[in-house]
Structure 1
C-alpha cells in the first residue's frame, strides 16, 4: 500500500482528524515546491529522520502525489490549487449576468476545471495505460459541454422568457442555482470517473496488501466522492444567497444597496474556502467496504469483515 494511504489509514479515520489534516494540506504555499522537492519528500517518508522534517515531507507528499501511480499531480489540479483557481471561477459563475454569453463562458471555465480536477485525482489503480483513451477524452468533453449548458440554464431562462418579475428572477438567480450546482457537481464526478464503476478499483486487506479488483468498491468510491463534491458546491451556492436575503431585510443594506455585490463575492469565496476541507473530509480517503458487499471471489480475503480502498478525491 502506498505511504500516503498508510498515513490516511492511521491518522484519517475520524472526521475531525481528516479536517485537521486537510487544513494543512490545502496550504497554497505548497504549490511553490518543485517536482524534485516533492519526490525528495516522498522518499524521506519512513526513513527514520527527524520527526518534524518527516511531518513536513508527509504533508508535501499528501498534497502533491497521486496515491495510486506515485506520480506528482499537475500543478493546477493539486488539492492546494483548488481554492486559488476555483474561487474566482465560482464567484463569476454565480454572478447575476446580463446575457447568456458571459454565463456560458464562466460555466465553461468552471466545468472544465472541475472535470480536470476530478480526472487528475481519480482512482487509477486498475488502469493499464497512463494516458487517457479516446473514449475518456470524449466523455470529458461531453461532460463539460453538458454541464456548461445546464449551469447556464437560469440565465437562459431569464433571457429567452423575457423574465421581468422580481420574484421569478430571484428564483432563477438565487434558488435554482443551489440544487443545480449540487447536481452538476455530482454528475461531473460520476461521469468522469465512470470507468472505476465499470472495471473496479484495487482493494487491500488489513495488512495493506492488494487482494484484487472490486467493482463494488469502485462504485462506493465514486458515489462518496460525488456526494462530497455536491455538498461543496451546493453549500457554496446556498449559504451566500441566504446571507444576502437576510441582510437585505436590514436597514443598513436597504439604504446602501452597493454593499450587496462585494458582500456576495466575499461570502462565496469564504464559504468555498471553508467547505473544501469539510467536503474532502466527509468520507475517509482510505475507505472500507464490508465483506457482504464485495464480490464473492474477494470475500475470502476480508478476514476482518472488510477491505480497504482508495476513494480518490
Structure 2
C-alpha cells in the first residue's frame, strides 16, 4: 500500500541519519549530522560572544574542535580502520591550530591602535571564522590522511566493491574539507553583522538582557540554514568516472561511473 511504502521510506531516512553506512553502528546523538545544530549552536554562541578574554577564546575553540573531531570521526569513511593514535593526533592538531590562530588574531587586533573601538569590535567578532575554517581543514585532513595512502572502497552500480582507490580518497577528502569551510562561513560571519545593527535599536539599548537570547536565536537560524546548504554541495555517496581512477580499477569493470562514500 501507499502507506506501507511511505513508512519504508521514512524508516530508511531515520536509519541513514543514525546508523553509519559502513560500520552499521549507531552514531551517538551529539555527533550525528541531525544533532549538529542543537548541540553545536551553544558553542557557536560562545565563540561569538563579545569582549572575549584569552581564557574564554581558548575554552570555546577547544570545545568547538572537540565537537568537530567527534563529528568527523563518527561520520568518516570507515572502509579502512582509523587507529586511536591518529584520532588523538588530529584532535590535538586541530585544537592547537584553532586556538593559536584565534588568540594570535585577537592579540593583533588589540595592538591595532588605528582602528576605532566599533571597528575593532566587529573584527574581533569575525575572528572565529578564519580560526574555525582553518582548523576544520586541519581536522578533516589529519583525521582521514590514512585514506590517501590506503585508498577507500569504490563500488559499481550493483554495490560490489571493485577495489581501493587513492584517487577517490583524495576527492572525498577535498569535498569534505570544502564543505567544512562553507559550513562556518554564514554561521560566523552573519550573526556579528546582524547583531551590530540590532544592538543599536532603542529596545535593546534599554534592555541589555535581551542581547544574549536574541544573539542565540540569530546563531540558531543561521546554523539551521547553513548546515543543509553545506551538506547538499556534495552527496554522501559521491560518483567519479572510472577513467579518472587507477588503471587496475578501470580494467576490473565495464562501468563508466563508480560510487564511494565521501563521508560527511
TM over 0.5: yes
Q: Structure 1 residues 257 and 180, CA, compared in 2 at 3 Å: closer, same or farther?
A: farther
Q: Offset at 1:80?
A: 2.0
Residue among 216, 223, 244 paired with 1:272? 223
Quote the offset at 1:63 in angstroms: 0.9
CA–CA distance in structure 1, aligned partners of residues 122 and 243 of structure 2: 45
Count of matched residue positions in the alignment of Structure 1 and Structure 2: 260
TM-score (norm 1): 0.74
TM-score, L = length of structure 2: 0.86
1:234 aligns with 2:194: no
Task: Check conservation: 1:97, 1:103, Cα contact below 8 A.
Answer: no
Cα 1:142/1:254, change in 2 over 3 Å: closer
2 CA distance for matches of 1:94 and 1:255? 19
Map of 1:216 onto structure 2: 167
Q: Aligned to 1:307, what secondary structure does the other structure show?
A: strand
**Residue in 2 aligned with 1:112?**
66
The DSSP-based 3-state class of the residue aligned with 1:50 is helix
Alignment of 1:160-239 (within 5 A): 161=111, 165-166=116-117, 168-170=119-121, 172-239=123-190
Deviations 1:20-70 (A, max 9, x none): xxxxxxxxxxxxxxxxxxxxxxxxxxxxx9323322321221111111111
Residue 192 of structure 1: how far off its partner (Å): 1.7
Paired position in structure 2 for 1:42: none
Give the corresponding residue for 2:4.
50
- 1:85-132 deviation per Cα after TM superposition (whole angstroms, max 9, x unaligned): 1110111011123421011111111111101111111001022xxx73
Confirm whether residue 126 of structure 1 aligns to residue 80 of structure 2: yes
Q: Conserved in 1, the CA contact under 8 Å of 2:154 and 2:162?
A: yes
